[in-house]
Amino acid sequence: MRYISTRGGIQPIPFKDAVMMGLATDGGLLLPESYPQITAGQLESWRKLSYPELAFQVISSFVDDIPANDLKGLIDRSYATFTHPEITPVVSADGVCILELFHGVTLAFKDVALQFLGNIFEYILAERHEHLNIIGATSGDTGSAAIHGVRGKKGINIFILHPHGKTSPVQARQMTSVTDANVHNIAIEGTFDDCQDMVKALFNDLEFKEKYSLGAVNSINWARVLAQVVYYFYAWLRVTDTGPRPVGFAVPTGNFGDIFAGYVAKRMGLPVAKLLLATNENNILTRFINRGDYSLSAVVSTVSPSMDIQVASNFERYLFHLYHEDPARVRAAFDELKGQGRITFTPQELDQVRQDFCSTSVDQAQTIETIGNFHKETGYLLDPHSAVGVKAALDMLPADMARVCLATAHPAKFGEVVEQAIGAPPPVPSAIAALDGMPTRCEVMAADLDKVREFVIRNVE
Ligand SMILES: *Cc1c(COP(=O)(O)O)cnc(C)c1O
């Protein structure tokens, strides 16, 4: 299996090179040349597999440059860190099926992908006698999942910038309590945008990037999407264990990574009846699907902050397929977006979009109401991101369908919002309680690019 760029500017490369490249060198995103096809018989034969065994079946069909036993080991180690025996269990409540993706170390679904990515990085770096310095900015979830994905790993340093005092206390502690020598937390006296601008500036300094082998862990890495494809298969198998029925997935969406993984599962032949893309007030993708309106507006801060995104980085992967794998069309679309702040679509393209997805937007009042109602009726506590998906599913998917709602974070991660909804703080899981009193390490720094650069150099050398 080889990988190509949505912008058409690179020769096909094998899986390991695609992982190490991250963003394609021509500015595009990497995708496999084709999708492996799963037959109905194969799917049935996967019913008895454990999560890691299923992950091996799905992932290995995209990877032909890592020996099977090595790949199995990487997968087993990645999911051994999860606290639930099923890794991503499916729970039914009030006519929907909740796919719990938050049993990893940082209690958010990003662990599913970043535990795997950390292990793959370490494996490839060891084989190539190379090292990598990961630099990223975070407003909370991605940074902590990335830190936990690479802590203590050989050949990797990680530097994560977060805005000092502006992440939730739990999110900050999940990062700063990791004191492994290869982990460097930097609290910037500034905003998330300041953090992101400085990270971008470091990556744009090509000499610095080369000299210090900078790398990223953002959601454009193909290995992250690939790891997420697995739980669509897993959940489909669980909800059809007692007999066939149509299955739809409701996905609270930010960067389009999670739902794109569902699209990949469908392209591989998983019988998915509906892929429902749920947004909060940042609803550019909902406007696109329902009205063909892909025009940028300002980012609004909401109670589901991990979905507060306007330009969804993985959307380009879908556009490439919508345009029948024509990179020239992808380039033209992004030129239009740059010039005019919008992309326009033909009626035929919009028909195709609506065959692939349906969508709705859920505002903050509805999100809080959903957490409250759902708790009252079922006793089950949703986090605000998961609540967006549940509300969308109840409104948009028929009741005779297995309505699988992706639960992307543990409610205790967003305790203040949950308290607003149910009038009491959610129970604190031991993983969060244990953070209190743990030693922490963090460098507080002014929003000064030179200082950040010096800090990186000092800690790499
Ligand atoms: C990242 C994140 C999302 C959005 O996922 P995308 O892959 O960016 O669409 C939703 N919920 C939570 C809790 C997240 O951390």
Q: Is 135 in the pocket of ligand 1 (CB under 6 A)?
A: no
Mutate to test the pocket of ligand 1, among 306, 308, 390, 413 (most ligand atoms within 8 A of CB): 306
Q: What single DSSP character describes residue 429?
A: P
**List of the chain residues with pLDDT < 70:** none
The pLDDT of residue 279: 97
The tokens describing 93, both together, are: 């409540």
- Closest approach atom of ligand 1 to CA 257: 7
Query: Per the domain annotation, does 142 fall within a domain?
Result: no
The CATH number assigned to the domain holding 239 equals: 3.40.50.1100
The tally of domains found in the chain comes to: 1
Query: Per the domain annotation, does 433 fall within a domain?
Result: no
CA of 432 to the centre of ligand 1 (A): 20
The pTM (predicted TM-score) of the whole model is: 0.96
The pLDDT of residue 178: 97
CA of 315 to the centre of ligand 1 (A): 14
110 is catalytic: yes
Q: Which pLDDT tens digit goes with each residue over 292-329?
A: 999 988 889 899 988 988 888 899 999 999 999 999 99
The pLDDT of residue 177: 97
The pLDDT of residue 259: 98
The pLDDT of residue 312: 87
The pLDDT of residue 461: 79
CA 435 to chain centre: 24
Query: Per the domain annotation, does 173 fall within a domain?
Result: no
Query: Per the domain annotation, does 95 fall within a domain?
Result: yes
Burial 46-64 (b: 16+ CB within 10 A, else e): beebebbebbbebbbbbbe
DSSP string, 53-102: HHHHHHHHTT--SS-HHHHHHHHHHHHHT-SSTTSS-EEEETTEEEEE--
Q: Is 9 exposed, middle or buried (0-12, 13-18, 19+ CB in 10 A)?
A: middle
- To 5 degrees, how large is the angle CA 395–CA 399–CA 403? 75
Query: Per the domain annotation, does 302 fall within a domain?
Result: yes
Cβ atoms of 237 and 169 closer than 8 Å: no
Q: Exactly one of 16, 110, 391, 413 is catalytic; which is it?
A: 110
Q: Is 255 in the pocket of ligand 1 (CB under 6 A)?
A: yes
Q: Is 384 in the pocket of ligand 1 (CB under 6 A)?
A: no
Query: Per the domain annotation, does 119 fall within a domain?
Result: no
Q: Is 389 in the pocket of ligand 1 (CB under 6 A)?
A: no
Query: Per the domain annotation, does 273 fall within a domain?
Result: yes
Query: Per the domain annotation, does 373 fall within a domain?
Result: yes
Range(s) of the domain holding residue 368? 90-107+223-422
The tokens describing 81, both together, are: 């860190």
Q: Is 111 in the pocket of ligand 1 (CB under 6 A)?
A: no
